[in-house]
Amino acid sequence: LVSRKKKPENTIVDLKGEKVGDGNPHLVFGPCAVESYEQVATVAEAVKAKGLKLLRGGAYKPRTSPYDFQGLGLEGLKILKRVADEYDLAVISEIVSPNDIETAVNYIDVIQIGARNMQNFELLKAAGAVNKPVLLKRGIAATIEEFINAAEYIMSQGNGQIILCERGIRTYERATRNTLDISAVPILKQETHLPVLVDVTHSTGRRDLLLPAAKAALAIGADGVMAEVHPDPAVALSDSAQQMDLNQFDQFMSELQSSALLR
């Protein structure tokens, strides 16, 4: 169902008027985790000030260690909904359990399925059974074929509003957190009709590489870029080393805008 052979024209996923897959670049920013209303609203204000529409933030955080901050859960989804309403933004947030999908659709505009859950087939099926866009991230060690099959799981249940997200894969290279598989972008565009985003934060894990990676993503044909922004990354409860602060976000945006990659 997701194959371009089956449907030659691009799928466009409409997020409150932001048409991801329409050929223009779409940018998603927001904190790694929802920590408080004030924290999310501060980022939302900066996003809004740039004329952008898409906000991200994790309420259920799939952390490597059980002792790390696990997210605010439903409370976090409520904060996202309040901010989305106040700033007229579409919000993207990860859901980690099939049981939370039904509730989550009342609070968020896009269900994110994270890298660690790309082959959680019950979660894929549950996300496929609701009428809500899904942002599906590539698994940490998933081949492109496995990634496409995960999207197929969602669409097989009836939900074709899927955005694919390349977020780096695990290789022997330790200079970056993961290895951004940039060639996955044109391959996914050729093989499927779905929009493709690149998460420059989790792929590189390096603040100094966010801008060049975003440029590469747009140059190679990605439908957009996702990056993490936090009002004060030093005190962030997750991914403190790689989130941009608001000044860095300003700089990132102005350099991306002057690169002529943003149409």
> Residue 25 or residue 58: which is nearer to ligand PEP going by CB?
58
Residue 5 C-beta: closest distance to ligand PEP, Å? 28
> Residue 53 or residue 167: which is nearer to ligand PEP going by CB?
167
Which residues would be at the binding site for Mn ion (CB under 5 A)?
32, 239
Q: Which amino acid is at 47?
A: V
> Residue 115 or residue 148: which is nearer to ligand PEP going by CB?
115
> Residue 34 or residue 253: which is nearer to ligand PEP going by CB?
34
3-state helix, strand, coil in the chain (%, to 5): 40, 20, 45
- By Cβ distance, which residue is nearest to Mn ion? 32
Residue 8 C-beta: closest distance to ligand PEP, Å? 29
Residue 114 C-beta: closest distance to ligand PEP, Å? 3
**Burial zone of 260 (CB within 10 Å; 0-12 exposed, 13-18 middle, 19+ buried):** exposed
- Is the distance from CB of 107 to CB of 79 less than 8 angstroms? no
Which residues would be at the binding site for ligand PEP (CB under 6 A)?
32, 58, 62, 94, 114-116, 137, 167, 199, 202
Residue 252 C-beta: closest distance to Mn ion, Å? 16
Name the β-bridge partners of 179.
169
What angle in degrees, to the nearest 10, is found between the helix axes of 74-87 and 37-49? 30
Give every CB contact of residue 158 below 8 A, 6+ residues apart in sequence. 128, 129
Question: Binds 94, which of Mn ion, ligand PEP, none (CB < 5 to 8 A, cut-off by type)?
Answer: ligand PEP
Q: What is the CA radius of gyration of the chain?
A: 17
